[in-house]
Amino acid sequence: MLRLRLFPTLLALAMYSAVATAEHEYDPDNARDINEVCAGCHEEFGQGGKQGKYPRIAGLPKNYLKKQLLLFQDRERPNMPMVEHVEKRQLPLDDIEDISTYLSRIKLKTRLPPVDENSPGFNAYARLREAKHLMQVPRAEGDIEKGGKIYHRECRSCHGEKGLGKKDIPPLTGQYTQYLWRQVDRFLKGERIHDEDEPDDELLKDFSREEIRDIFAWLSVQDD
């Protein structure tokens, strides 16, 4: 009788611990520690820098971040500067989970709301912190109108109405133009796969450089 009553409890416990190990619990302190390494190149709030030598990584979809880190780790996506920082010993799976959650939750602004610095509620320190979360892509050269048309026909279905990405697909708006160009070249050289569901579908190969330039011009003003 006793054993019968215990059984469901034990079963529930066993099931609980199986779920607990399968589902990693987000550790924000660990994430902040890891981000100190990333910030050496991608800056404190993941806003990237050096005109796109280092891409923006803040606010990208969590699963996209995770996937790219695993691709770097497995050397399936080339990235020499990051190699030593993504080795399994440096960045085990739990760390990849934590830093991906952390970065995906950072919201960067494109402009600061106007405030009255003389009002009694004005907090200079808070304002300074807010200013550090700013990122706006400089206007890229090209025909914005033409670019918008091509974008809507060819890219919107996956990258979203205004280029802000969708579910696990990265945004293009708010990302450095120079970095985006580098990725186009990687896709065309076969160093990266654009659409995993159709790996042989070379999405960008039918466009001229000028058409891609126009798309990037349109994207660069979507965050104005």
- 66 lies in the site for ligand HEC, by CB under 6 A: no
Smallest Cα–Cα separation from 48: which of 182, 179, 149? 179
Nearer to ligand HEC among residue 40 and residue 92 (C-beta): 40
CB 132 within 8 Å of CB 44:
yes
Q: Applying CB under 6 A, does 220 fall inside the site for ligand HEC?
A: no
Burial level of 22, CB count in 10 A (0-12/13-18/19+)?
Answer: exposed
Residue 112 CB, shortest distance to ligand HEC, in Å, is 25
Size of the site for ligand HEC (CB under 6 A): 39
Q: Does 213 bind ligand HEC (CB under 6 A)?
A: no
Using CB under 6 A as the binding rule, the residues of this chain from 7 to 46 that contact ligand HEC are 34, 37-38, 40-42
Phi, psi of 219 (to 5 degrees): -60, -35
Token pair of 25, please? 């619990």
54 in contact with ligand HEC (CB under 6 A): yes
User: Is the CB of 142 or the CB of 170 nearer to ligand HEC?
Assistant: 170
Which of the residues 148 through 167 are near ligand HEC (CB under 6 A)? 154-155, 157-159
Confirm or reject binding of residue 172 to ligand HEC (CB under 6 A): yes
Q: At 165, give phi and psi (nearest 5°).
A: 85, 170
CA angle 192, 52, 188 (to 5 degrees): 25
Binding residue for ligand HEC (CB under 6 A) from 73, 183, 220, 222?
183
Nearer to ligand HEC, 84 or 224 (CB): 84
Quick one: CA torsion of 14, 17, 21, 25, rounded to 10 degrees?
160
What is the chain's length?
224
Rg (CA), the chain: 22
Q: Which two tokens stand for residue 5?
A: 């009553």
Minimum CB distance to ligand HEC smaller for 204 or for 221 = 204
Minimal distance in Å, beta carbon 94 to ligand HEC? Answer: 13
DSSP per-residue letters across 169-201: BPP-TTS-HHHHHHHHHHHHHTSS-S-TTSTT-
Question: Using CB under 6 A, which of the segments 21-29, 61-69, 116-124, 132-140 binds ligand HEC?
Answer: 61-69
Positions touching ligand HEC (CB under 6 A) are 34, 37-38, 40-42, 54-55, 57, 60, 65, 67-69, 79, 81-82, 85, 91, 99, 154-155, 157-159, 169-170, 172, 175, 180, 182-184, 192, 194-195, 203-204, 215
